[in-house]
Amino acid sequence: MKILYLGDIVGESSLRAVSQAIKQIKAEYGINLVFVNAENVSGGKGLYERHYKELKKMGVAAISMGNHTFSKSEIINYMDDATIVRPANLNTNHGKEVLYINYNNETIALVNLLGRVFSNTPLDCPFKTMDRLLEEINADYIIVDFHGDATSEKKAFLYDFAGKVDVVVGSHTHTQTSDATVYNNTCFITDMGMCGGYNSVIGDDPDMVIERFRTGVFTPLKVSNDSSILIQGVVIDLGVKRGITRISKII
């Protein structure tokens, strides 16, 4: 089974490019399922229901989130019935902490975790949360989107859970790392990267970000409107011989 997993989609204008990219990558790699991180779709933070529906129309099977899961509060009204997984180490009863996807008589469990390094959100330990979930999950495959800043935390998570979960993909930094590997049958990458403006600062308009850095004034940021969209993610092969291939293209 081959899964295309796309990194954080930033802004509404990226959705059109994502739709196009999914068609291209599906044809090129023979993809069975498409997963995406959608924490930045709606105005750069969160996911409105109408954008969720657009992703479903594109054939996206599963959606993971991150620190911006609840940035658009309407998600609380629809997430329970949606194919969305929220970070399991957040202390909330809203949404699913494990999302089960059925495909060809096999079950995939998707888990989303938030890293604690550089985070000011009160979070349970992602490692201990995964220990707990492993006792509950009943699935053929377990895929984890570890959403965090620190490369060390994500790499340590790989070595702790290699052989116990099938995939660990990182998200949140919006910058793809070149360390995709398979270790003890677990497919891994520290960060999948993003789907957002090519000439941008991790998806945002550079001018606004420069202004914030130069002045220290908390000026509002704006999602990049660059017409070139960087599409990044990975193709994961869950066949007998496991594989993970980086995807990085401009649309």
Using CB under 5 A, list all residues that contact Fe ion. Answer: 8, 40, 66-67, 172
CB 209 within 8 A of CB 221: yes
Least distance in Å: CB of 196 to Fe ion? 9
In whole angstroms, give the CA distance from residue 142 to residue 87.
15
Comparison of 141 and 200: residue with beta carbon closer to Fe ion: 200
Comparison of 201 and 238: residue with beta carbon closer to Fe ion: 201
Least distance in Å: CB of 202 to Fe ion? 8
Nearest to 124 by CA among 97, 96, 149: 97
Q: DSSP readout, 139-155?
A: -SEEEEEEE-S-HHHHH
Nearest to 39 by CA among 59, 5, 9: 9
How many Cβ atoms from other residues are within 10 Å of residue 103's Cβ? Answer: 14
Q: Choose the catalytic residue: 51, 68, 147, 174.
A: 68
In the complex, which residue's CB is closest to Fe ion? 8
CB burial readout 164-178, b (16+ within 10 A) else e? ebbbbbbbbbbebbe
Least distance in Å: CB of 147 to Fe ion? 6
Comparison of 72 and 172: residue with beta carbon closer to Fe ion: 172
Least distance in Å: CB of 25 to Fe ion? 20
Least distance in Å: CB of 7 to Fe ion? 8
In whole angstroms, give the CA distance from residue 55 to residue 67.
20
Nearest to 43 by CA among 204, 212, 227: 204
* Catalytic residue flag (residue 94): no
Beta carbons within 8 Å of 156's beta carbon, 6+ residues apart? none
In whole angstroms, give the CA distance from residue 56 to residue 60.
5
Comparison of 8 and 204: residue with beta carbon closer to Fe ion: 8
Comparison of 175 and 199: residue with beta carbon closer to Fe ion: 175
The catalytic residues are: 68
